[in-house]
Amino acid sequence: MKMLMAVTLALVPFMSCAMIGHAGETKAKMEEVKGEVKGEMEEAKGEAKALKEEAKGNDVKAAGERAKGNVKGAAEKGKGEAKALKENMKD
């Protein structure tokens, strides 16, 4: 009985650490994916605004809106990658 209790007490912390490590990797991947999705949404918004401006005949403003969308999209993707790295560093 004492042997069983000793083995159980030794395995519980080990298994807990393994599960926590896996959870950190999952959260890191989630942050990275969220950044990707937000980045793509910002790029799509910029493209939609650019198409509206092109329809009005404002080609210069359309190019500006498209560029803003690309910059914001890249920033969001970078934030997602940074958060993922931060989560990986916690482990």
Q: Answer yes or no: is 24 within a domain.
A: no
User: For every one of its 91 residues, what pLDDT tens digit does the chain have, with 9 covering 90 and above?
Assistant: 555 555 555 556 655 555 555 666 888 888 889 899 999 999 999 999 999 999 999 999 999 999 999 999 999 999 999 888 888 887 6
Question: How high is the pLDDT of residue 86?
Answer: 86
Q: Answer yes or no: is 56 within a domain.
A: yes
The count of other CB atoms within 10 Å of the CB of residue 71 is 13
Question: How high is the pLDDT of residue 3?
Answer: 59
Closest CA to 79 of 46, 87, 24, 23: 87
pTM listed for this prediction? 0.66
Q: Answer yes or no: is 41 within a domain.
A: yes
> Count of domains in the chain?
1
Query: Is residue 38 helix, strand or coil?
Result: helix
Beta-carbon contacts of 62 under 8 Å, excluding residues fewer than 6 positions away, are 49, 50, 51, 53, 54
Structure-derived torsion over alpha carbons of residues 12, 16, 19, 21, reported in degrees to the nearest 10: -140
Q: Answer yes or no: is 8 within a domain.
A: no
